[in-house]
Structure 1
Amino acid sequence: MSKIEIKNLTFGYDGQAQPLFKQANFLLDSQWKLGLVGRNGRGKTTLLRLLQGELPYQGTIQQHQQFSYFPQSIRDQSQLTNDVLAEISTAEQWQIEREMRQLGLAPDLLWRPFSTLSGGEQTKVLLAVLFTATGVFPLIDEPTNHLDLRGRQQVAAYLQQQRQGFIAVSHDRHFLNQVTDHTLAIEKSQISSYQGNFATYEVQKQLSDSFEQAQNSKLKKDIGRLKQTTAEKAKWSQSREGDKYGDPRKKGSGAVYDTGFIGARAARTMKRSKHLAQRMETEISEKEQLLQNIEQVDPLTMAFQPSHQQRLLTVAQLQLGYAQPLFQPLNFELLQGQRLALIGPNGAGKSTVVHQLLQQFSGTVQGTIQQPQQLKISYVRQNYTDNRGMLTEFATTQGLDYTMFLNNLHKLGMPRDVFNTPIELMSMGQLKKVELAKSLSLPAELYIWDEPLNYLDVFNQEQLEQLILAVQPTMLLIEHDQAFIDHVATQVVTLEKADN
């Protein structure tokens, strides 16, 4: 057992107005199964990089760990999976196969090109090799991305049985509740640690938010009363000064009262009024300190253009593959205003269907796909690391409405100071937001979104649900989050693996 102690940690990227971390202090234990949570762009992946010594910072990080990071960097995905793993690990093949079996993977995947594995299969293979190493502390960044429901359960069971501690970053609340016993939350103005899983953190967070909101409501009422009292006393004081000297506009006006008494009383009232004004300023200043950790979420916009065609897609007896078909014959229709969710296990060929719809598939094709000519499609990809450059240049090359693009990025939670950061230097969550904002800003008759929730936090997921239900666009969705599918899909089609 050893400690990881962070003292006065300050770090920010060049070009950002505010640092990600400012004088942060917290203590971790290497035996904890720690869930690292927080909105996209708050610095979760950056913190993992800081622990590994990859970035310069101010303050101290005291630890005696050797870290291993997931997902590992792959130099050449066209290589056989066995060769890819040999480059990133010193483990024996039997050790890797042992871990793969625990994750429900067949050993013959090692002899397929890594690029032909599904996203879920790639995730499991890289997790398997991560836990073959001994004496290291795993840093696991978004392991549930690309995993179907069964795959998430397998990975959760796999992590539950691990005796060693780790840090896991995930936006899947159910997953975190299954695998973690401590939580570190990066919030808007502080970093807080909790003994317990995400559910424990959520309860404490709700209590904290409710307290802040109650204090804010009370303070608003107090400030309102103070403003009214201050205005009334200032008005009275000014009117008494008029009584003291008489009103020159009235004929025969003159001071008939004890002007000394009136003047002294008016002075006292004015002084009291100034004290009230000063108190009000103090109260307003205190108010600004509240609500610092309550998240604000604004509605998104979408450039959906309903098609004059009633039927946008007709898929009949479709089978795709290489040497053998990937899935059993597929049939469906997609009509104007419908949202079809294409579901199935990892490796069944869901993304391959999308590639064929976009005429990007080079394997064997059986069956037919009918769609209107020049159908305007907006596509959210699983892999979007080729998005590069500054946002202004990116919007121009992609033909985007720049104002709409930036507005959606900001509403998705991207800080404005990140707008001046090259896309390739953004966090994975921010990269996903760029891809989503691009899709939302492209006028389209059909939106094809391949796993849109990967890397997005709970607030963003709810934003997308509300947008889809409000706009009612025509969509083809691939997603493993059952709650999301239940909320937005009008029909569900299951893709079943072929019996080869």
Structure 2
Amino acid sequence: MSVLDVRNVTHGFGARAILENVSFRLLKGEHVALIGANGEGKSTFLNIITGKLMPDEGTVEWSKRVTVGYLDQHSALKAGTTIRQNLRLAFDDLFKMEQELLSLYENMATADDDEVNKMMEDAADIQTILDSSGFYIIDSKIEEVANGLGLGDIGLDKPVDELSGGQRTKVLLTKLLLQNPTILLLDEPTNYLDENHIQWLTNYLQNYENAFILISHDIPFINNVCNIIYHVENCALTRYVGNYEEFTRIYELNKAKEEREYEKQQKEIGKLEDFIARNKARVATRGMANSRMKQLEKMDILERPRDKPKPTFKFKETKAPSRFLIDAKDLVIGYDHPLTKPLNFQVERNKKIALVGVNGLGKSTLLKTMLGIIPPISGSVTFGENVAYGYFEQEDSRNNTKTALDEVWGEYPSLTNHEVRLELARCGLTTENITSMMKVLSGGENAKVRLCKILLKELNFLILDEPTNHLDPEAKDELEKALREFKGTILLVSHEPYFYESFVTDVWNIEDFTTKIV
């Protein structure tokens, strides 16, 4: 049974085509991964099927009585509320029913017998719905799901205005799961989740009886929760049955077949054109030449299979620093209250360190304190000699109106326009990306621009906070290779062991430093 039918949808922005004549069906119980390179139109597709965007052509039809829950990269929380208050909004309809039930009981006191009987029937129906929906155990349901996704560590009474972007995403995801819609639409839900919480979400989705559509670049996660793949490439949408590994196998076979068919046709066209050129002037063979010309005109010419720009990352290195790049003494980090006990540690030259652990315990805060972006609560951080670092921050400003070109050129004004464009193209960005504002780029495209700024700098120390969030698999692989080949020191925050295991020398767990109960 189909719960969603998308027929012949076409959409673009200005002269740029995003989707062309795309059709899609979501069947009951299907667990779908929507995959593709950064900027191919995955989020645009979700915005079209949820009605946030109107397609230029085509139709979108949901089956009746379907409730759709959508977590996108730009969802908002209700300002001036706590986490708990936001989560209770997931049950607004049930609270309204409770009010209706209380009103019925009040009105029974002044109603006649017939009215009372009707009110009793209505009250019984509402009571059944409230009981079956678990209305009277809402707070325990909130605690269960919130703790599963790590909100208990933050504190459910914390105002949402004080949350980081990652923490806000967790609240939105928790609220969505509490609503328990018929269909889930999830745009990169594992970004900002650590290993424990990804495992919790994996178990939840594996046991989810209804259908969902997931956008993700986390391949192990896709393999664990999805049984259907839809691949967005060159404005088209192609369906594959199976997990990501099966998709890759079939995709490569199809791509090789297309290449062979294209090359075969090109040879055939070459032979026909050669025959025509040699024989059209001779009277005796002109008929055969004309016949070949007609054959050529009727031929359905195949396009060469197009490859998207592939990123190339290589970090520039400078002279070696002193033996210890960072020396922390009795360092306590935090904002209004301490997040850690006093820390004493050193970052030694040529070490490649992964900083891991449950979110909300201070990994990003530790990096910012080490770099002097925020002050420590107490203690000190001392840099060694000749330290030249590049810092990749987890989030970019949502309102960055600079173009990608200006973002890089502003930091490296000595480069020419052509040189900046060339460097951005090496990071896998198209001409259109380069002239677009940072705030309208996809998460992956935005990350590639910010990586480009670091790649242009000569350095011996890389400090990277969740650099793989939003990056497509090809870009992740290229970044892993670049970090493996980098001769300097690395301090990396990541929740993806399969990304960093090939090059790290040490793993530091923030849970060993924290004052919080984990």
TM tier, smaller: 0.7 to 0.9
Q: Which moved more, 1:57-66 or 1:389-398?
A: 389-398
**In the comparison of the two structures, how many residue pairs are matched?**
462
The secondary structure found in structure 2 opposite 1:488 is coil
**Aligned-pair CA distance for 1:135:** 4.4
Counterpart CA distance in 1 for 2:408 and 2:373 is 23
From 323, 339, 353, the equivalent of 2:337 is: 323
Counterpart CA distance in 2 for 1:462 and 1:95 is 39
Is residue 70 of structure 2 the alignment partner of residue 69 of structure 1? yes
Is residue 58 of structure 2 the alignment partner of residue 59 of structure 1? yes
Q: 1:331 to 1:223 in 2, by over 3 A?
A: farther
From 145, 161, 172, the equivalent of 2:191 is: 145
Counterpart CA distance in 2 for 1:220 and 1:187 is 24
Counterpart CA distance in 2 for 1:297 and 1:186 is 16
2:43 corresponds to which residue?
45
**Cα pair 2:43 2:187 within 8 Å, conserved:** yes
The secondary structure found in structure 1 opposite 2:156 is helix
Q: Which moved more, 1:450-459 or 1:63-72?
A: 63-72
Aligned-partner residue type, residue 475 of structure 1: I
Is residue 214 of structure 2 the alignment partner of residue 213 of structure 1? no
2:440 corresponds to which residue?
425
Counterpart CA distance in 1 for 2:503 and 2:423 is 20
Is residue 191 of structure 2 the alignment partner of residue 177 of structure 1? no
Counterpart CA distance in 1 for 2:375 and 2:77 is 23
Aligned-partner residue type, residue 341 of structure 1: A
**Cα pair 1:301 1:408 within 8 Å, conserved:** no
Is residue 346 of structure 2 the alignment partner of residue 346 of structure 1? no
Segments of 5+ residues of structure 2 without an aligned counterpart are 95-137
Aligned-partner residue type, residue 200 of structure 1: E
Aligned-partner residue type, residue 80 of structure 1: T
**Cα pair 1:7 1:26 within 8 Å, conserved:** yes
Q: Which moved more, 1:128-137 or 1:451-460?
A: 128-137
**Aligned-pair CA distance for 1:404:** 4.7
**Aligned-pair CA distance for 1:460:** 0.7
**Cα pair 2:37 2:472 within 8 Å, conserved:** yes
Q: Which moved more, 1:311-320 or 1:481-490?
A: 311-320
**Aligned-pair CA distance for 1:376:** 4.0
**Aligned-pair CA distance for 1:384:** 0.3
1:12 corresponds to which residue?
12
Q: 1:349 to 1:298 in 2, by over 3 A?
A: closer
Counterpart CA distance in 1 for 2:370 and 2:433 is 34
Q: Which moved more, 1:114-123 or 1:352-361?
A: 114-123
Aligned-partner residue type, residue 75 of structure 2: S
2:347 corresponds to which residue?
333
Aligned-partner residue type, residue 226 of structure 2: T
Segments of 5+ residues of structure 1 without an aligned counterpart are 239-263
**Aligned-pair CA distance for 1:380:** 1.4
Q: Deviations over 1:239-273 (max 9, x none)?
A: xxxxxxxxxxxxxxxxxxxxxxxxx9x54467767
Counterpart CA distance in 2 for 1:274 and 1:312 is 79
2:103 corresponds to which residue?
none
Counterpart CA distance in 1 for 2:294 and 2:16 is 30
From 352, 362, 381, the equivalent of 2:393 is: 381
The secondary structure found in structure 2 opposite 1:409 is helix
The secondary structure found in structure 2 opposite 1:378 is strand
Counterpart CA distance in 2 for 1:75 and 1:377 is 35
**Cα pair 1:124 1:155 within 8 Å, conserved:** no
The secondary structure found in structure 2 opposite 1:131 is helix
**Cα pair 1:183 1:195 within 8 Å, conserved:** yes
The higher radius of gyration belongs to 1
Aligned-partner residue type, residue 417 of structure 1: E
Q: Deviations over 1:166-207 (max 9, x none)?
A: 111101111111112222211225211233332332222122
Q: Deviations over 1:296-332 (max 9, x none)?
A: 5252354x24135334622335442353343673523
**Aligned-pair CA distance for 1:128:** 1.8
Is residue 486 of structure 2 the alignment partner of residue 437 of structure 1? no
Q: 1:79 to 1:361 in 2, by over 3 A?
A: farther
From 209, 213, 217, the equivalent of 1:163 is: 209
Aligned-partner residue type, residue 377 of structure 1: Y
- Measured on the aligned residues, the alpha-carbon RMSD in Å equals 3.5
The secondary structure found in structure 1 opposite 2:8 is strand
Taking structure 1 as the reference length, the TM-score comes to: 0.79
1:291 corresponds to which residue?
305
- 1:170-319 equivalences under 5 Å are 170-219=216-265, 234=278, 267-268=283-284, 286-287=301-302, 289-292=303-306, 294-295=307-308, 297-302=310-315, 304-307=316-319, 309-311=321-323, 313-317=325-329, 318-319=331-332
**Aligned-pair CA distance for 1:114:** 4.0
Taking structure 2 as the reference length, the TM-score comes to: 0.77
**Cα pair 1:300 1:408 within 8 Å, conserved:** no
Q: 1:310 to 1:108 in 2, by over 3 A?
A: closer
**Aligned-pair CA distance for 1:280:** 7.9
